[in-house]
Structure 1
Amino acid sequence: MEHIQNIKQRFRIIGNDVSLNSALERAMQVAPTEITVLVIGESGVGKEYIPKIIHHLSPRKHYSYIAVNCGAIPEGTIDSELFGHEKGAFTGATGDRKGYFEVANKGTIFLDEVGELPLTTQVRLLRVLESGEFFKVGSSQIQKTDVRIVAATNSNMLESIQKNLFRKDLYYRLNTVQIDIPSLRARKSDIGLLFRKFSQYFAEKYNMPPIKLCQKAMSYIENYHWPGNIRQLRNLAEQLSVVEKQREITLSRIKESLPSLYPFTADSVLKNDFRTECDLLYKILFDLRKDLNDIKSLIMELMHIPGKKASIDRKGDTLYHFPSHDLNVSETKIFTHESLQEKEIKCIRKVLNRNNGKRKIAASELGISERTLYRKIKQYGL
């Protein structure tokens, strides 16, 4: 078996965290077998390296390796992408098409964001796992394939099963061996090493001196929550490398560069180690906390105004009414408590604007899948 340092060097994996090494060692251990593997980890942690390592160290390494992002393929076409289709199977099917499972025969197929698969597609995938058989869309002829499946997800699969969004039998078929990839905030000792590596890389790419952080700035990024994980850290290093004239980055500049949408610190992480699928709501709720504190202060002030009364309007907003002789109005709406949905809309719009409407980048920053973001954009008419 190859040494773990050789694997890190081959796949350009940076870090010496114990949990990272454990995940890599497990991938190396199961690679020579035919076991189906499920990789668990938040968006942006580098889950895609695990199936590459498994394929490289397996007897299938001389055959095809195909990576499929299940969350980025529209629901109406995903069966065709995975299993292929016959000519005339649907509008636009002008010819026969091979699917990924046919193309990857004898090789490895990586199903990223497998938790986003529609239930009908899950049934087809289960059959492939059980018998190696599938049907092309629009065909009644059984096809055979011999592929090894490595799947990955950033969602809580057990919760999805409880909500009938994911099949329990498929989950246990996929999860013969589970490999957990740690979040960046759990690899505190690796953050500085990663940032320096990215800084050096972008210095060479853009032909300029590498940036470096002052001690306080380095301490700040080591204690930051990093909801976008390594991907977000890499983007930060690239942004600073390109736009900063001063090559030593100060604490104030780092605070300006990191989104205020994620004001987490090491202390808050210790108290609340949020799962990725809940990150967006927690970010919104965290933002709401300041509003609630302001509301509490306002309520305390209102308690001392005689003749006031409170009621709830149709939207669930709190209305405070005062006698006309106090405020020279018959009815005044002092404040409304903004709904969680409105906060979510503002949050999504803000991230989309910051990324010039690029949904893939925005979804990564929000900690949700591209399909989920597309659904919310459609739902809210953004």
Structure 2
Amino acid sequence: MNTTELQRIKQRYNIVGNSDGLNHALDVALQVAPTDLSVLIVGESGVGKEIIPRLIHDNSPRRREKYFAINCGSIPEGTIDSELFGHEKGSFTGAIGESEGYFGITDKGTIFLDEVGELPLATQARLLRVLETGEYIRVGGTKIMKTDVRIVAATNVNIRKAIREGRFREDLYYRLNTIPIQMPPLRDRGEDILLLFRLFAMKMAEKYRLPKISLTDEAKQLMLSYKWPGNVRQLKNITEQMSVLSPSREISGEILSHYIPHDPESTELAPITKGGNHSYENERELLYKILYELRGNVSNLRRDMSSLRKQIDEARGLNGATGFQTPIIAPTKPAMPGLQPSSLQPQPLDAEAELIEAEEEDGDLNLTSLGRQMVEKALRMANGNRKKAATALGISDRTLYRRIKQYGL
């Protein structure tokens, strides 16, 4: 692409800079625009990836059709399929009518999927089918729909790492990555940093009627040596801050250093093609781990409660014939070596009493007051006849005698 055409494109889209990486990205975008090939734009957050899909659409045969830019990371996982592919009436709560979805509305046009690496795996499978056949099914529907859309995607995460971790489909990556476009980070654009600073400073001066700020040679060197982890977005924010807050209109290195973060974490980069972790991946993985462990704890608690409820119900049913409601609480671990939950069943009749004794001796459960009340009630009903009382309690005479002696009855 010649220099004249390149400058025309930059003026039309307000693109500032002359670095080789930026010019190459624009050149590839213009070359691929007349085709229908899928494009994957790779670059760190804040480098201006959103300019490329607009440029591709405006210079393609689809330029008179609709263009939709969708941030995949901002749509909740539970509704993203409906947003993209539409839904049928009544397919879920709140679906009071039909919806075409973005792929239906944008038929013949271009869809820009920003942060495509954040798509759930199920949605990735649907998207792969659209890329391969142009077909999809609405949420809650059975009819196969057809669409003819140009897909341009962008990501700021390490897709290859996401593939290794099972968070992104490898086949979808190769379908999207037909034409890759790498947007360079600001720290690699050299003098473009100073050009962008002058642009942002001029816009602030015009918008708020302020004296325009400028940089000393020392401040320029600091600008060029800083790593800019937030890229163009961070440069714009710092320029706006200095335009409003700085009492001096000439920004020295000392003044600039007060606006640039000095903590080590602020200069940690998010490499895309050279390996390493994206700046948010560690936090995301930690959250996934916490949620997974929490789900396991909840499942174990639900299982234990279900088992406990079943044992209590069985115990009540077994004791119904004697007229007593004896709640039996099973310990989570056997109170005695070799004791299994099945030993709670009254076979032999003395098993229940032996279990209570073991639990009292082990300190797991304190059933002394409950056992005293049961023995007293049984003796009253049997008019003091120990044999009848032992039979009613489902224990042996020996155990009853031991209980009477223990409780001082």
**TM-score normalized by the length of structure 2:** 0.66
Structure-2 change in CA distance of 1:26 and 1:166 (3 Å): same
Per-residue deviation, residues 208-236 of structure 1 (Å, max 9, x unmatched): 11111221111101111101100110111
Alignment of 1:106-185 (within 5 A): 106-185=108-187
Per-residue deviation, residues 242-285 of structure 1 (Å, max 9, x unmatched): 222221112222111112235778xxxxxx97516999979xxx
Residue of structure 1 equivalent to 2:271: 275
DSSP 3-state at the match of 1:143? strand
Structure-2 change in CA distance of 1:263 and 1:126 (3 Å): closer
Residue of structure 2 equivalent to 1:101: 103
DSSP 3-state at the match of 1:19? helix
Residue of structure 2 equivalent to 1:7: 9
Residue of structure 1 equivalent to 2:216: 214
Cα offset, 1:61, TM superposition: 0.2
Distance in 2 separating the partners of 1:280 and 1:245: 41
After superposition, the CA RMSD in angstroms is: 2.7
**Which contiguous aligned blocks of 4+ residues in structure 1 show a shift greater than 4 angstroms?**
262-265, 276-282, 371-376
Alignment of 1:247-266 (within 5 A): 247-262=249-264
CA contact (8 A) 2:42 2:154 kept: yes
Report the number of matched residues: 287
CA contact (8 A) 2:42 2:272 kept: no
Which protein shows a greater Rg?
2
Structure-2 change in CA distance of 1:75 and 1:264 (3 Å): closer
Per-residue deviation, residues 15-74 of structure 1 (Å, max 9, x unmatched): 000111011000000100111111111110011111111101100000001001111111
Structure-2 change in CA distance of 1:227 and 1:277 (3 Å): farther
Distance in 2 separating the partners of 1:281 and 1:115: 14
- Structure 2: gaps spanning 5 or more residues: 292-409
User: Which amino acid is 1:238 matched to?
Assistant: E
Asked if 1:48 corresponds to 2:59, the answer is: no
CA contact (8 A) 2:47 2:185 kept: yes
DSSP 3-state at the match of 1:188? coil
Structure-2 change in CA distance of 1:277 and 1:228 (3 Å): farther
CA contact (8 A) 1:277 1:368 kept: no
CA contact (8 A) 2:197 2:235 kept: yes
DSSP 3-state at the match of 2:98? coil
DSSP 3-state at the match of 2:239? helix
Asked if 1:57 corresponds to 2:39, the answer is: no
Structure-2 change in CA distance of 1:264 and 1:125 (3 Å): closer
Per-residue deviation, residues 270-322 of structure 1 (Å, max 9, x unmatched): xx97516999979xxxxxxxxxxxxxxxxxxxxxxxxxxxxxxxxxxxxxxxx
Higher relative contact order (CA 8 A, sep 6+): 1
Distance in 2 separating the partners of 1:103 and 1:201: 36
- Structure 1: gaps spanning 5 or more residues: 266-271, 283-366
